[in-house]
Structure 1
């Protein structure tokens, strides 16, 4: 007489449910992670070891050709100061985040720093972390 049961439990493990969970976690973290690139200008920033965090009220970007951008919209050299002041009007702690290409002439950055100094505006130089 054979008393053993015919239903045997299989010791195999199905990986399909595990891969579904891993895929869902990957999609979740990709969608909830913050965007790394502020604005969409392709600038090569100089490197530095420190890190500065600020709530940049206005971003001034300078390309290596000397083209100025105020919050990702192009500005002429003559119009630069008025555009910055209009953007910062009524702000509690006016701050300029200066993003200058590493190959841009220093005179372009000095012009923006001079505008900030004349108008008593704090300025932060954006750099790429090592």
Structure 2
């Protein structure tokens, strides 16, 4: 009695073509995507009159003047003054930095203050001009 031999089907999957496709998709998405950049914008006018509790007030004026808790500071002293003021707050978990920005102040001056407050685990609030 003659039995036929069955040919075994390979259960392996060839990954070389799959890696080529993934590589091509990666190149395609890298070439077609845009790099995200924060573009400067004007701060909005506020609709509400909500008053939030605050520990530290940072005032930014359009001419470049900056004050922390009514003390004028300039340049690199701004971050040091905010750090010192945050160190004096009793309850560090509820520390709040209120940024009072005059109309026309670019967001590029506000962003470093917000990052500094976030690095010190403090909340940052931007107080904008109320609607007249």
TM-score range, shorter chain: 0.5 to 0.7
Name structure 1 gaps, 5 residues minimum: 1-44
> Which of structure 1's runs of 4+ aligned residues deviate more than 4 A?
none
Q: Once the 2 structures are TM-superposed, how far is the Cα of residue 124 of structure 1 from its aligned partner? A: 1.0
Aligned residue in 1 for 2:124: 123
**Cα distance between partner residues in 2 of 1:119 and 1:83:** 13
TM-score (norm 1): 0.59
State the distance in 2 between where 1:104 and 1:128 align.
12
Spell out the pairing of 1:77-96 with structure 2 (5 A cutoff): 77-89=75-87, 90-92=89-91, 93-96=94-97
Distance (Å, rounded) in 2 between the aligned partners of 1:88 and 1:110: 17
The alignment's TM-score, normalised by the length of structure 2, stands at 0.58
Which structure has the greater CA radius of gyration?
A: 2
Alpha-carbon distance in 2 for matches of 1:52, 1:66: 27
1:58-101 Cα shifts (integer Å, max 9, x gaps): 10001102221101111122011221121122431111010011
2:99, 2:70 → 1: CA distance? 12
Q: How does 1:1-130 map to 2 (within 5 A)?
A: 47-89=45-87, 90-92=89-91, 93-130=94-131
Name stretches of at least 5 consecutive residues in structure 2 with no aligned partner.
1-42
**Following the alignment from structure 2 to structure 1, what is the Cα–Cα distance between the partners of residues 50 and 126?**
9
Q: Secondary structure at the match of 1:59?
A: strand
Partner-residue secondary structure (3-state), 2:117: helix
- Contact kept, 8 Å, 1:57 with 1:95, in 2: the verdict is yes
Shift of 1:49: 0.8
- Equivalent residues of 2:98, 2:127 under 8 A apart: yes
Q: State the superposition RMSD in angstroms.
A: 1.7
- The alignment partner of 2:50 has SS state of coil
